[in-house]
Chain A
Amino acid sequence: MINEIRDAIIQYLKSVMKENDVVLALRSSSTPGILTPCILRNKADLDQIEAGFFHLNNLAVYLSEFFQKENRLSTLQGYLYVLCKPCDTKAVTQMISDQQINPNKLKLVVYACEGMADMKKVKNEIGLDKDIKAIDLHLTELSLTLLDGSPLSIPVSKVISSKCLECNKEYHLTMSHVFVGDEKKWKSHPYSIATAENKVLLQDQKKGKDLFDQLKAELSACIRCNACRNVCHACFCSDRCIFDKPKMTVGFLDKEISPIDNILFHMIRFYHVAPNCTACGECERICPQGIPLSHLYEYFHRLMQESLDFSAGSSDSMRQAMLSYRLGEDLV
């Protein structure tokens, strides 16, 4: 299937990759519709790279592996090329300002992204009793073959993820990067159907007790598998988290899985993440229990922008909101 963005990326990487450079990109996994992040070290593997409509993952979370964490490759001599959607660049900028990555060994490959798939919507289209055997994108049609071999085609507009509908098609990067694809054409028609400002959130419709009851019902489905914590670029202390405190130092947070503890877990996680959350939506996408976490991170993202006028990932030198103050703002 022709995917000219992917070929342009591969062609660019082939031209610029030197001897011990490393590429962090995505390749197809044997589950249809989902790509697996991969680290490619030599030119021959570059052809496995996939990009475009199924690029759901935000690869920024792997970058801290390269520079700070235990099993890292920080003995990296060459450069690290990272395949990024424009909305992932905010995550990379925020991690640089949190000193989790040093940018001078990093080169971002940003490409003209026309939106990404939302696999939940695809599943709803197919119905709960059938499943996908193979899935492919033909210009504006998703062509699927189901398990019993019957073909099905769904228009892209039906399954594009809601985050992309608000994309204003711009990104700002100060570190070294390259844009693959025609930037002017890409910027010419932004989606931005529902602009972020007038979005009505759950916290606007409900207040107090019934908001608490609804969130409690949703969060009681949580099985505390830590997937939302480990996939989040803003939750960068993933294997040194306060919830993983070793038993010898009496951690004051129990590992009990009960509605109250789940709320406490998410409350503490969003308290930590609120200043540097770039609302990339990864935590909601991958939650095995389907918990609508957008009810929470949308609220905190908007809160940071409105009351502290701080948008995460906007500049890699400005530290996050909790590390600065303005005289006389008397917030509390």
Chain B
Amino acid sequence: MDRTNTVIAFVCQADKRKKLISSLKSKYPALRVIPVICIGKLNPVIIFRLLMKEARAVILVGCEPSDCHFREGVFFSERRFFLAKEVLKGFGLNDRLLNIIWSNPGKDALVLKQFETFMQYLKETQIEKGA
């Protein structure tokens, strides 16, 4: 298994979302699930390093901005991830490789569907990031 086409999913631990996502591991061998307290904690510097070296795509699953346990914490990280995606675009990388899925307790089905479409997209597009 070539390590550069792994997909790393950082999942916010609220509402036992980790179980939801890790149930997908059996379906996608390249998926790695890492629980974090809140995706606001993720410094995009780590995401850049992972995208350039360890992983092919990074998925962040976190609470919707209005629904985050830490109230306005995720608003700031929403702007940060926007800038992270723009930096990827500015450098010519495919900014869809950093995929952010907002979810809240009621939307588990929607989260799974977004996950599926993203993994499908990854299958079709071959690795063109030249990593």
Binding site for B on A (CB under 8 A): 203, 206-216, 242, 252-253, 260, 263-264, 266-268, 270-271, 274-275, 296, 299-300, 303, 307-308, 321-323, 325, 327, 330-332
Contacts and interface: CB of A to CB of B under 8 A. Distances in A.
A274 B80 CA distance: 11
B25 interface: no
A209 B129 CA distance: 7
Contacts of B49: 252-253, 264, 268
B52 interface: yes
A216 B90 contact: no
A322 B48 contact: no
A308 B80 CA distance: 12
29 contacts: A206-B92, A207-B92, A208-B128, A209-B130, A212-B91, A212-B130, A215-B92, A242-B45, A253-B45, A260-B52, A260-B53, A260-B131, A267-B48, A267-B88, A270-B87, A271-B45, A271-B83, A271-B87, A274-B87, A275-B83, A296-B90, A296-B91, A303-B90, A307-B82, A322-B80, A325-B76, A330-B65, A332-B78, A332-B85
A83 to B, nearest CB: 33
A330 B52 contact: no
A203 B129 CA distance: 17
Given A252-B46, A268-B45, A321 B79 contact: yes
Interface of B: 44-46, 48-49, 52-53, 65, 72, 75-76, 78-94, 100, 128-131
Contact of A271 (B44, B78, B89, B92): B44
Contacts of B75: 325, 327
Contacts of A266: 91
Contacts of B92: 206-215
Would you call the interface of chain B mostly helix, strand, loop, or mixed? Answer: helix
Contact of B48 (A215, A264, A296): A264
Contacts of B89: 203
A267 B87 contact: yes
Given A267-B91, A325-B76, A332 B82 contact: yes
Given A209-B128, A212-B91, A263-B91, A271 B79 contact: no
Contacts of A268: 45, 48-49
A308 B76 CA distance: 13
B81 A332 contact: yes
Contact of A299 (B45, B78, B90, B129): B90
Contacts of A263: 52, 91
A209 B131 CA distance: 12
Contacts of B85: 332
